[in-house]
Amino acid sequence: MSNQSKIKTPIPEQDPNIRNKNFLEVSLGYTQELAKEEASRCIQCKNRPCVEGCPVMVQIPEFIKLVAEGDFESAYQKTLETNSLPAVCGRVCPQETQCEELCVRGIKGDAVGIGRLERFVADVHLDEVEHGRIEGVKLVEKTSGKKVAVIGSGPAGLVCAADCAKMGHDVTVFEAFHTPGGVLVYGIPEFRLPKVLVKDEIESLKKLGVKIITNMVVGKTVTIDDLKEEGFNAFFIGSGAGLPQFMGIPGENLNGVYTSNEFLTRINLMKAYLFPKYATPVNVGNSVAVVGGGNVAMDAARSAKRLGAENVYIIYRRGEAEMPARAEEIHHAHEEGIIFKLLTNPVSILGDENNIVKGIECVEMELGEPDASGRRSPTEKKGSNHIIDVETVIIAIGSKPNPLIPQTTDGLSVNRKGCIEVRSEEGLTTVDGIYAGGDVVTGAATVILAMGAGKAAAKAIDEYLMG
Ligand code: FAD
């Protein structure tokens, strides 16, 4: 008997006024009872539109049915058939514009909480493995005699490496940072994605026999040509889009101005939030301006609040409806006391006599008619200049791929946005044997798309090596 409730079973969360002072996960996850209750809202419809909405086509009704029946491990295994990182995707995928947007229950009420259930089954599984009640992954024999180099250990690289290893290839991941995981460890904060989950995924990868070499900047420490000489037969470039963009306004070089990339890396990877245990603090002061309206801006603003800033402003030149951030992140930011300065655009950052930020000058904007892409362009309201007093400014207006690898690899073409050009859906680049996928090809996008690209490339690499 299906649960007729029009409302998604609420998920327990930390109180906003408590969580905005700590870095523990916001959402506490479903209990078994709540998960079964939510799973029984799925009506198991025949045409399964939710599956079409999922970029990796998780068999959603099937796994949800297993949750409703209380067979959580089988439900987990079902998600794993097409999604290698369900604990991550259940937490960070924009379900509201993918699977849940197409859910039939969403027509007359809330969609089924597919993301919440995906996260639930993954968490139950990890708990079982941790307590030794079920076995994790096993080492796969390297039978093919072929060596694959994966550059970058974000979701694209992790998935490609795992799949290549499962196909019997000898895989080495080269990562520039000292910790593997890509944006999952250096970008998305602990309160949205606990790093222990990513660590578990990396450990599983190692158990499959994948070697991970950190502090290795391909294009600088070693080139793809060097690796070819070392005997690597195929390559996957999953180096992401970590090069920050600037606004090009006066004052961007003042002390107290960060790119979101630097700010979040200092907090997540260098553990600024654990000061004084870690001697790498970030002093944000009392008032912080974050420029941008995506997930990155929300993460930076919510992190700044947790570091102790009283006033944290999101400065965004369009309205809230146009914000690219996930609805849930915007909602959580409001709850935590982030101040939204919408239809507002910075024109300069102001410093004191010591070149330390003391304010940000902004203008008001208004939205015009939609352009060819359907987006309403903002235009400046004349004479609306005003100053917001802040001690820190964080620029979160987007990023693009670093040119290092294309610049040091003969024949590897990029498009005008600096993204690596691919000749096939599986990510074959302009050089035979070199594949690419994730943000380095699409520009800044999503975890699930990066994973999908890693998976597709692994299959093509296997065919290239064995065909
Ligand atoms: P990345 O995750 O960027 O990984 C690339 C890796 O390659 C990095 O570890 C990097 O150090 C390494 N690398 C780069 N150059 C080299 C080199 N020359 N040699 C060796 N290694 C190199 N997406 C969502 O779906 N939901 C969200 O909620 C969400 N929130 C986000 C929040 C933030 C703060 C950010 C920055 C992004 C967010 N995204 C979100 C986007 C998502 O994280 C990315 O689309 C995804 O991580 C891209 O995966 P990737 O594997 O292509 O690259």
Q: Which of 295, 326, 409 to mutate to test the pocket of ligand 1 (most atoms within 8 A of CB)?
A: 295
* Residue with CA at minimum distance from ligand 1 atom 39: 446
Whether 240 lines ligand 1, by a CB cut-off of 6 Å, is: yes
Report CA 356 to chain centroid distance, whole Å: 31
Peptide bond into 276 cis (omega under 30): yes
Q: Say what the pLDDT of residue 131 is.
A: 83
* Exposure string for 189-211, b = 16+ CB within 10 A, e = fewer: bbbbbbbebbebbbebbeebbbe
Mean pLDDT of the chain: 94
Between 427 and 128, the more confident residue is 427
For residue 15, the CA-to-ligand 1 centroid distance in Å is: 29
% of the chain surpassing 70 pLDDT: 100
Q: Say what the pLDDT of residue 279 is.
A: 86
Would the pLDDT of 1 be above 70?
no
User: For tokens 């992954």, what's the residue?
Assistant: 137
Mean pLDDT of the region 220-232: 96
pLDDT tens per residue, range 148-197: 999 999 999 999 999 999 999 999 999 999 999 999 999 999 999 999 99
% of the chain surpassing 90 pLDDT: 85
- Which residue type does 33 have? E
For residue 301, the CA-to-ligand 1 centroid distance in Å is: 19
Mean pLDDT of the region 62-86: 94
Supply the pTM of this predicted model: 0.93
Q: Residue 64, exposed/middle/buried by CB under 10 A (0-12, 13-18, 19+)?
A: buried
Q: Say what the pLDDT of residue 362 is.
A: 98
Report the C-alpha gap between 383 and 387 in whole angstroms. 13
CA neighbor of 343 nearest in space, from 372, 305, 302, 386:
386
CA neighbor of 394 nearest in space, from 260, 268, 282:
260
Whether 188 lines ligand 1, by a CB cut-off of 6 Å, is: yes
Mean pLDDT of the region 34-49: 96
Q: Say what the pLDDT of residue 302 is.
A: 98
Would the pLDDT of 28 be above 80?
yes
Mean pLDDT of the region 209-236: 96
Whether 224 lines ligand 1, by a CB cut-off of 6 Å, is: no
Report the C-alpha gap between 123 and 117 in whole angstroms. 10
CA neighbor of 22 nearest in space, from 141, 162, 191:
191
Report the C-alpha gap between 281 and 275 in whole angstroms. 6
Q: Residue 253, exposed/middle/buried by CB under 10 A (0-12, 13-18, 19+)?
A: exposed
Atom of ligand 1 nearest to the CA of 91: 28
Would the pLDDT of 305 be above 70?
yes
Q: Is 112 helix (H, G, I), strand (E, B) or coil?
A: coil
Contact yes or no for 263/282 (Cβ under 8 A): yes
* Residue with CA at minimum distance from ligand 1 atom 28: 92
pLDDT tens per residue, range 75-122: 999 999 888 899 999 999 999 999 999 999 999 999 999 999 999 999
* Residue with CA at minimum distance from ligand 1 atom 46: 447
Show Cβ contacts of residue 225 under 8 Å, excluding neighbours closer than 6 positions: 409, 410
In which band, very low, low, confident or very high, does the pLDDT at 3 lie, cut at 50, 70 and 90? confident
Q: Residue 443, exposed/middle/buried by CB under 10 A (0-12, 13-18, 19+)?
A: middle
Atom of ligand 1 nearest to the CA of 440: 52
Atom of ligand 1 nearest to the CA of 177: 11
* Residue with CA at minimum distance from ligand 1 atom 36: 187
Atom of ligand 1 nearest to the CA of 449: 45
- Which residue type does 225 have? D
Whether 72 lines ligand 1, by a CB cut-off of 6 Å, is: no
Atom of ligand 1 nearest to the CA of 219: 18
User: For tokens 């998920």, what's the residue?
Assistant: 11
Q: Say what the pLDDT of residue 201 is.
A: 85
For residue 445, the CA-to-ligand 1 centroid distance in Å is: 9
Q: Say what the pLDDT of residue 87 is.
A: 93
Q: Say what the pLDDT of residue 72 is.
A: 97
Contact yes or no for 157/454 (Cβ under 8 A): yes
User: For tokens 């195929």, what's the residue?
Assistant: 234
For residue 160, the CA-to-ligand 1 centroid distance in Å is: 14
Contact yes or no for 173/150 (Cβ under 8 A): yes
User: For tokens 């609420």, what's the residue?
Assistant: 10
Report the C-alpha gap between 219 and 407 in whole angstroms. 8
Mean pLDDT of the region 332-353: 97
Instruction: For residue 388, count other CB atoms closer than 10 A to its CB.
Output: 19
CA neighbor of 112 nearest in space, from 28, 9, 11:
9
Whether 152 lines ligand 1, by a CB cut-off of 6 Å, is: yes
Report the C-alpha gap between 257 and 359 in whole angstroms. 11
* Residue 438 φ/ψ region, left for φ over 0, alpha for ψ in the -120 to 50 degree band, beta for the rest: left
Q: Which of 100, 160, 239 to mutate to test the pocket of ligand 1 (most atoms within 8 A of CB)?
A: 239
For residue 242, the CA-to-ligand 1 centroid distance in Å is: 7
